[in-house]
Amino acid sequence: MNEWAYTAAFFIFAAVTVASAVGVVTKNDLVHSSLLLALCFVGVSGLYVLLQADFLAAVQLLVYNGAIAIVFVLGTMLTRRSIRHGTNHSEADAPSRLIGLISGLFVAVTLGVIATTPWNYSSAGAVQDTPAVLGRLILTDYMIAMEVAAVLLLAAMIGAIVLAKGVDEE
């Protein structure tokens, strides 16, 4: 019963993720696309829960849904309210058909690779109390990566401010 519920949950979350991801690409309206993107993130965080990565799932919900998707919708609302319709062009012209073909090929290759690879399954059980372990890892083994990420954010902020401020007209 437990196994069955687990499988069912996996397929539900997977279907939600894939369907909303397809919607993001095909929808004609930018706001619809971004809301579907938020739904896609929810699906992914559901998959994380099934993998027993509870902390990652929470972060995914908080950061991607709570911040990124919302900022995206707000940004669209504030900038192009009047001409919102058709902001996300997807006419069935030749380039997009070509892109569809390439993406389809890529999906086919990926599925083929997944099917033919002899995967090594990890025998280690799920980690209990993930935040503590993650915190310790980030501040010990991965400390340099974390510090560099901090510098990255500072640099990105400086660059963004300079570019957004524009030219002083003197």
Partner 1 sequence: MNIALLTSEIAVLVLGLLIIIFDVLIPRQETHRSLGYIAACGVLAILVHSMTQYGAAATVYQGLFVVDNLALFFKQLFLAATFLTLLFSVEYVEKWIQNSGEFYALLLFALLGMMVMASANDLITMFIGMELMAIVFYALVGFELRSKKSSEAGMKYLMLGAASSAIMLYGMSWVYGFTGSLVLSQIAVKATASPAMLLGMGLMLAGLCFKLSIVPFHMWAPDVYEGAPTPITAMLAMGSKAAAFAVLIRVFLIAFSDLQEYWATIVSLLAAASMIVGIVVAIWQTNIKRMLAYSSIAQAGYILSGLLAGNVAGVKGMLFYAVLYMFATAGAFAVSTAVKNHNGSDEIEGFSGLAQKSPLLAVVMTISLLSMAGLPPMAGFVGKLYLFTAIADKGYLWLVILGFVMSMISVYYYMLVVKTMYSKARDQQEFVVRGSLQVVAVISLLASLFIGIYPGPLAKLANFAAQALW
Span interacting with partner 1, options 7-15, 31-39, 93-101, 139-147, rule CB under 8 A: 139-147
Round to whole Å and give the CA distance between 129 and 137. 13
Q: What angle do CA 5, 64, 54 make, to 5 degrees?
A: 40
Smallest distance, partner 1 to C-beta of residue 62, A: 21
- Which are the contacts of 29, defined by CB distance < 8 A and separation ≥ 6? 84, 85, 86, 87, 88
Round to whole Å and give the CA distance between 24 and 162. 31
The binder of partner 1 chosen from 62, 108, 133, 155 (CB under 8 A): 155
The binder of partner 1 chosen from 1, 81, 129, 166 (CB under 8 A): 166
Q: 88 is written with which tokens? A: 């996300």
Span interacting with partner 1, options 29-37, 69-77, 90-98, 144-152, rule CB under 8 A: 144-152
Q: Can you tell me which residue has the tokens 């990890």?
A: 122
Cα separation values, 75 from 13, 47, 55, 133, Å:
28, 28, 28, 36
Which residues 92-121 are close enough to bind partner 1 by CB under 8 A? Answer: 109-110, 112-114, 116-120
Smallest distance, partner 1 to C-beta of residue 164, A: 10
Q: Is position 126 an interface residue for partner 1 (rule: CB under 8 A)?
A: no
Smallest distance, partner 1 to C-beta of residue 5, A: 26
Round to whole Å and give the CA distance between 64 and 20. 15
Smallest distance, partner 1 to C-beta of residue 25, A: 15
What residues line the site for partner 1 (CB under 8 A)?
Answer: 109-110, 112-114, 116-120, 122, 140-145, 148-149, 151-152, 154-156, 158-160, 162-163, 166-168
